[in-house]
Amino acid sequence: MTVGHDAGAPSGAPAAIRTRGLTKVFKGGQVAVDALDLDVPRGSVFGFLGPNGSGKTTTIRMLLGLVTPTAGDHALLDRPLAEALPSVGAVVEGPAFYPYLSGEANLLRYDAANPASSARDARSRVGQALERVGLSAAAGKRYRAYSLGMRQRLAIAAALLRPRELLVLDEPTNGLDPQGTREVRALVREIARDGTTVFVSSHLLAEVEQMCTHAAVMSHGRLVAQGTISSLHGGRPALLRVETPRAAEAARILDGLGLAEVTAAGSHVTAELGGHAPEEINAALVRQGVPVRGLAVVRPSLEEVFVGLTGEGFDVDG
């Protein structure tokens, strides 16, 4: 069941990530990912949502060639994986570095592993990556001495070692302070502005809502929704909320205007807005002498959409 299948990405458009029937059954029969059809359009900032254990990291591992799928196909940047990977930056399940090396030496190590990187400009690229994540001052410090947030930043810096066409970030703001979170969000936007596709898995729904153009929702290894953020919202109606001392009268008027689900309670009335313009409803209420103390259109948050799709209660999938 896929709601709001992205109408903006017609078939054949360049995809940053595309999977068909991607499935992973671990030894012991654990179905971590179940027939996943994911389409991440180029240039999008794509939020990958799902409760703990819903299969996000496993999907990312399969995309990056770390885990062999049990079934199905996948492609990054429409290229064979070995050719695509040099243009893909990734943070997978938190940072991992050599504790006895400095931040700079760690980045040089990962850069050396990329056959497409040249040794000549390695130092300057490492310096730029460190600067981008605000770690220039700690470049010479041993990784062992880094704080959690510094480690997370270093992992993002490793993903930014080269100009990338695609960034895959598995919970990049994990462990960051609010300011760090904001900075990462700004960084992602900046990167996206340069045309890089960003695929970011996260628990922080507000964060996804703020920085993503698209999102997909996983539950128990299955994809339950994917599309643009607005199309995901589109699945749930916007609500009209009127605050007035004469609630019963207002409810009658809204009913008369043809709004659905009108309910009056105490000093306010709510109804589904549907296709009506809020200003016309306001005018109609005032025309009929109902004092309007306040009028608001409430759109459901992504969190409500998310909970609606993955089930009430934030239980771990497994």
Which stretches of the chain bind other proteins, using CB under 8 A?
Answer: 11-15, 18, 20-21, 39, 61-62, 64-69, 73-76, 78-86, 88, 90, 92-94, 96-101, 108-119, 158
Cβ neighbors of 233 (< 8 A, separation 6 or more) are 299, 300, 302, 305
Contact stretch for ligand ATP (CB under 6 A) within 54-62, 80-88, 105-113, 158-166: 54-62
Question: Phi first, then psi: what are they for 145, rounded to 5°?
Answer: -90, 5
Query: In the range 57-116, which residues lie near ligand ATP by CB under 6 A?
Result: 57-58
Quick one: 155 or 251, whose CB is closer to other proteins? 155
Interaction of residue 175 with ligand ATP, rule CB under 6 A: no
State the amino acid at position 109 in one-letter form.
R
Size of the site for ligand ATP (CB under 6 A): 12
Tokens of 194: 């340069």
CB of 71: closest distance to Mg ion in angstroms?
Answer: 21
CB of 170: closest distance to other proteins in angstroms?
Answer: 10
CB of 75: closest distance to other proteins in angstroms?
Answer: 3
CB of 186: closest distance to ligand ATP in angstroms?
Answer: 24
Quick one: 94 or 134, whose CB is closer to ligand ATP? 94
Do 176 and 184 touch, CB atoms closer than 8 A?
yes
Residue 145: how many CB atoms within 10 A of its CB?
Answer: 11
Helices (H), the chain: 56-63, 81-84, 103-113, 122-132, 148-159, 178-193, 205-211, 229-234, 247-257, 278-287, 302-310
Query: Cα separation of 136 and 212, whole Å?
Result: 28
Question: Phi first, then psi: what are they for 31, rounded to 5°?
Answer: -85, 100
Q: 117 contacts which partner out of Mg ion, other proteins, ligand ATP, none, CB within 5 to 8 A by kind? A: other proteins
Quick one: 57 or 102, whose CB is closer to Mg ion? 57
State the residue for tokens 């309670």: 265
Tokens of 31: 């179905």
Quick one: 103 or 172, whose CB is closer to Mg ion? 172
The helix (H) or strand (E) run that includes residue 120 is none
Closest of 219, 234, 184, 218 to residue 45, by C-alpha = 184
Query: Cα separation of 25 and 27, whole Å?
Result: 7
Q: 79 contacts which partner out of other proteins, ligand ATP, Mg ion, none, CB within 5 to 8 A by kind? A: other proteins
Taking CB under 6 A as the criterion, the residue among 6, 16, 38, 54 binding ligand ATP is 54
Quick one: 71 or 296, whose CB is closer to ligand ATP? 71
CB of 151: closest distance to other proteins in angstroms?
Answer: 11
Q: Contact residues for Mg ion (CB under 5 A)? A: 57
Tokens of 263: 């309910």
CB of 34: closest distance to ligand ATP in angstroms?
Answer: 10
Provide the CA 248 distance to its chain's centre, in angstroms: 42
Q: 147 contacts which partner out of ligand ATP, other proteins, Mg ion, none, CB within 5 to 8 A by kind? A: none
Taking CB under 6 A as the criterion, the residue among 8, 13, 52, 294 binding ligand ATP is 52
